[in-house]
Amino acid sequence: MFVAHWSEIVLAFAAVAAASPNRPGPPASPGWPGSPGHGNGVKVLLTNDDGWAELNIRAQNDALIAAGYNVVLSAPAENKSGTGSSTATPTVLNQTCEFNTCPVGSPPTGFNASNPRLNYVNAYPVDSARFGIQKLAPKFFWSKPDLVFSGFNVGSNLGPVIQISGTVGAACEAAKEGVPSIAFSAASGDQLSYTTLANKTAPSTLAARLYSALGIKFVDALLSSHSHGPILPPNVTVNVNYPATNASVCSQEKDFKYIFTRVLPDAGAVDVKTCGGTTLPDETTVVETLGAGCYVSVSVFNATTKADVNAETQEFVLRKLGKLLTCLPK
């Protein structure tokens, strides 16, 4: 159960390190899902740009843990949406963390007193991902994460918007540090506290739980074909966008269909051959224009330039995802 008031939440890393010199014990031997729905202890760093106490990231944290993943959360102390790949040194808080989850004067980094795997970083999403990879992962995993899961974001991140998305920026930082990463975003939802999840029938809760399940389905599929080779090519990440959901449209996990896409439209592009062609549909068209089809876009892009990658790189990811993907109707 999460503590609701800041007076009971935040501890400084420095103070805890001084009081508790022993790190957590080493994790179980890393494993890869042999079948969908079984994380088998795969080490996941969870981050976002909406903040550490936001509804969606806590719902996704719950889902990853329930699916058997070994999860540590490292996210901004406040909502840092739209900050792209900005970076800064974390500082002492001059205002409360979002939803009053820590007080003014809290240290630059801190965590939930009842669950030290829930961490804030008072800087940008890039800094949260970096802190998780460089500081938290050695403490909890004794190694780098196997995967960085960024999101899912409140609102879509499609096409040119990925250049300014903090969710995408965090995923790119992970890829540049040599950790496979995915950025997830969702069309439905609002910027709400994790405490909203207590209302199990609220539309925001239902959407968050549904999108979280879709995230598990995607990660399971990506990892199920993994043996000893890389999960993703170097310096590459994946942009996944879910369409809108409500009580009557796209309301169940089975309604959603994953489409392999490109970030920007380009009628002359020579992409990987799939679905009978060599030019992929662009993600904005798939998610927004064709939204009633419950299509989830899956685009592979360069972590440095945030541009579409070549056909060979696309093919690597296409083969990884296998039967998860489907084709648009003719």
Beta bridge partners of 298: 240, 260
DSSP annotation of 193: B
Q: What is the pLDDT of residues 56-102, one digit of tens each?
A: 999 999 999 999 999 999 999 999 999 999 999 999 999 999 999 99
Between CA 210 and CA 296 the distance in angstroms is 13
Residue 26 has pLDDT above 80, yes or no: no
The single-letter code of the amino acid at 290 is L
Confidence of residue 16 (pLDDT cuts 50, 70, 90): very low
Confidence of residue 226 (pLDDT cuts 50, 70, 90): low
Burial class (CB in 10 A: 0-12, 13-18, 19+), 270: exposed
Beta bridge partners of 277: 274
What is the structure's pLDDT at 12? 41
Residue 126 has pLDDT above 90, yes or no: yes
pLDDT higher at 19 or 161? 161
Instruction: Report the pLDDT averaged over residues 51-57.
Output: 98
Q: What is the pLDDT of residues 239-289, one digit of tens each?
A: 999 999 988 899 999 999 999 999 999 999 999 999 999 999 999 999 998
Residue 30 has pLDDT above 50, yes or no: no
What is the structure's pLDDT at 227? 60
The single-letter code of the amino acid at 250 is C
Residue 20 has pLDDT above 80, yes or no: no
- CATH, domain range 39-326: 3.40.1210.10
End-to-end CA distance of the chain: 48
Instruction: Report the pLDDT averaged over residues 188-200.
Output: 96
The single-letter code of the amino acid at 147 is L
Between CA 60 and CA 55 the distance in angstroms is 9
- Please tell me the least confidently modeled range out of 130-134, 260-264, 287-291, 294-298: 287-291
Residue 32 has pLDDT above 80, yes or no: no
Separation in Å, CA 266 to CA 54, 136, 160, 269, 330: 36, 40, 13, 5, 19
Between CA 112 and CA 120 the distance in angstroms is 9
What is the structure's pLDDT at 38? 56
Residue 36 has pLDDT above 60, yes or no: no
Between CA 156 and CA 150 the distance in angstroms is 13
Residue 25 has pLDDT above 50, yes or no: no
Residue-by-residue DSSP string for 257-317: EEEEEBSS--TT-----BTTBSSPPBHHIIIIITGGG-EEEEEEEETTT--B--HHHHHHH
Between CA 164 and CA 159 the distance in angstroms is 11
